[in-house]
Structure 1
Amino acid sequence: MAANTCNKTDVKNVPYYDRPRERLLREGAVHLSDTELLAILLRTGSERETAYQLAQRLLAKFGDLRGLAQASHAELRELKGIGQVKAVELHAAFELGRRLVGIPRISRASIRLPRDVADLMSPELAHLTQEHFVCLFLNTKNHVIGKQTIFVGSLDASIVHPREVFKEAIRRSSASVICLHNHPSGDPTPSREDIAITHTLREAGELVGISLLDHVIIGDGRYVSLKEQGYL
């Protein structure tokens, strides 16, 4: 009667690649596949599948780690076996990864050209599904001394207020500021709102004595510098 039913004993009798914790301890994390590392985050599956099998289904649904990192909470919950706790833990893990990418690069970055801004920030911004408006704060030698996300959501000149941008710039004793944001569509062509925000920030910077050096829009593998476009 139970010949075709997988039980807890059956789940334990799995090959070594289906026991990623043991592999990590034995061989090190660098030798594990994406599926195995994901299975460690998930910790448990169910009576009918292991965490490894659940990780396989997750990656199959979203295509790869990049697709999984972009998934919303609701999209994760659509997959059987992913409850609220697992969905939250996955979001937290991917956010930590995104933040880690930017820490060492930002702290020693020197900006000379718009391409430097794009190279520095594309890994952090290009994959995001919402617009993020970010400011880089520079010293007199154009070294980045700080970074701040000012706003998340659809950009509007009335929302991205110069007060928030230059309050942070003054607090950090910045000589200049570079603003940038991503276009989730992948097309970095500036909108009328982007141009209006740039003009407003340039004028505000002139009043407080902190130059707006550029406003860079990050797309999918492309970028646009509003300075190079003649808006600054």
Structure 2
Amino acid sequence: MEAHSYTLRDLPREERPRERLMQYGASSLSNAELLAILLRTGTRRESAVHMAQRMLRQIGGLRNLVDISIEEMTEMKGMGLAKAIQLKAGIELGRRLAQSRLNETITIRKPQDAADLLSEQMRYLQKEHFVCLFLNTKNHLIAQETLSMGSLNASIVHPREIFRAAIKCSSASVICAHNHPSGDPTPSAEDIGLTRRLVEAGEIIGIDVLDHLIIGDGSFISLKEQGLM
């Protein structure tokens, strides 16, 4: 018998994730089952569900899918370029949905407002990302930009990059944020030093640096609230 890739149709009907989703709803499916629907097919030796389970074990869980690259995906057994692109697109749609606010004007008046906007986007990232929120004179969000992606424990960002982006979008003020992949939002000496340099540069240029948030896993710290800027 000729070998073939296992598809979801090869599973018993009661175990097929597509049928289970239609009958019971998406919330009833496991992470591996939802991932299997996106993968569609497995390998010659395993079903799409088994492949999804293996992938999740290999990368250390669902949350790590957020930060994995297409190149890293295609290094996994059974993951071709088409599957990797399809999966990456699904992840990006989920990220944009979490970020969307039904096209309403987003106003940032306090640190919690900025944290509510950024926490779900940044808490699962495995590398440090330095993000800026650019505001107008009414504290309405006019742009968001990731200006740096660093190593597991450090990000590199220069003040000129931040203020170049701020000037480009005619921003009156900026809120900076970066994540700590460890999950602990406690600011380091480098975090505090960078923040104070940014505040000083902003005073010279005429663009206020309102705050610097450090995003952890389910928590955040505002350097302004802590009196560190």
TM-score bucket (shorter structure): 0.7 to 0.9
- The answer as to 2:211 corresponding to 1:211 is no
Secondary structure of 2:101's partner? helix
- The answer as to 2:187 corresponding to 1:187 is no
Q: Which moved more, 1:41-50 or 1:135-144?
A: 41-50
Q: Contact (CA 8 Å) 2:180, 2:215: kept in 1 or not?
A: yes
- The answer as to 2:105 corresponding to 1:108 is yes
Secondary structure of 1:104's partner? coil
- Structure 2 counterpart of 1:47: 44
- Aligned CA distance change for structure 1 residues 202 and 188 (closer, same or farther; 3 Å): same
Q: Deviations over 1:99-129 (max 9, x none)?
A: 3322437863211211111111000001000
- Structure 2 counterpart of 1:121: 118
Tell me how far apart the structure 2 counterparts of residues 103 and 51 of structure 1 sit (CA, whole Å): 31
- The answer as to 2:78 corresponding to 1:81 is yes
Larger Rg belongs to: 1
Tell me how far apart the structure 1 counterparts of residues 189 and 87 of structure 2 sit (CA, whole Å): 36
Matched letter for residue 162 of structure 2: V
- Structure 2 counterpart of 1:151: 148
Matched letter for residue 228 of structure 2: Y
Q: Contact (CA 8 Å) 1:137, 1:177: kept in 2 or not?
A: yes
Q: Which moved more, 1:45-54 or 1:9-18?
A: 9-18
TM-score scaled to structure 2, two decimals?
0.80
RMSD: 3.3
Q: Which runs of 4+ in 1 moved over 6 A?
A: 6-11, 72-75
- Structure 1 counterpart of 2:161: 164
Q: Contact (CA 8 Å) 1:18, 1:50: kept in 2 or not?
A: no
Q: Which moved more, 1:116-125 or 1:75-84?
A: 75-84
Structure 1: runs of 5+ lacking an equivalent: none
Tell me how far apart the structure 2 counterparts of residues 11 and 175 of structure 1 sit (CA, whole Å): 53
Matched letter for residue 199 of structure 1: R
- Aligned CA distance change for structure 1 residues 162 and 54 (closer, same or farther; 3 Å): same
- Aligned CA distance change for structure 1 residues 28 and 140 (closer, same or farther; 3 Å): farther
Of 161, 171, 176 in structure 2, the residue corresponding to residue 174 of structure 1 is 171
How many pairs does the alignment contain?
A: 226
TM-score scaled to structure 1, two decimals?
0.79
Tell me how far apart the structure 2 counterparts of residues 213 and 12 of structure 1 sit (CA, whole Å): 55
Matched letter for residue 57 of structure 1: R
Tell me how far apart the structure 1 counterparts of residues 134 and 54 of structure 2 sit (CA, whole Å): 42
Structure 2: runs of 5+ lacking an equivalent: none
Secondary structure of 2:174's partner? strand
**Identical-residue share of aligned pairs (%):** 54
Q: Deviations over 1:24-79 (max 9, x none)?
A: 6x669746724333122212112333223322333455565324445567875675
Tell me how far apart the structure 1 counterparts of residues 134 and 7 of structure 2 sit (CA, whole Å): 57
State the Cα distance separating 1:153 from its structure 2 match: 0.1
Q: Contact (CA 8 Å) 2:6, 2:48: kept in 1 or not?
A: no
Q: Contact (CA 8 Å) 2:106, 2:141: kept in 1 or not?
A: yes
Q: Contact (CA 8 Å) 1:98, 1:124: kept in 2 or not?
A: yes
- Structure 2 counterpart of 1:199: 196
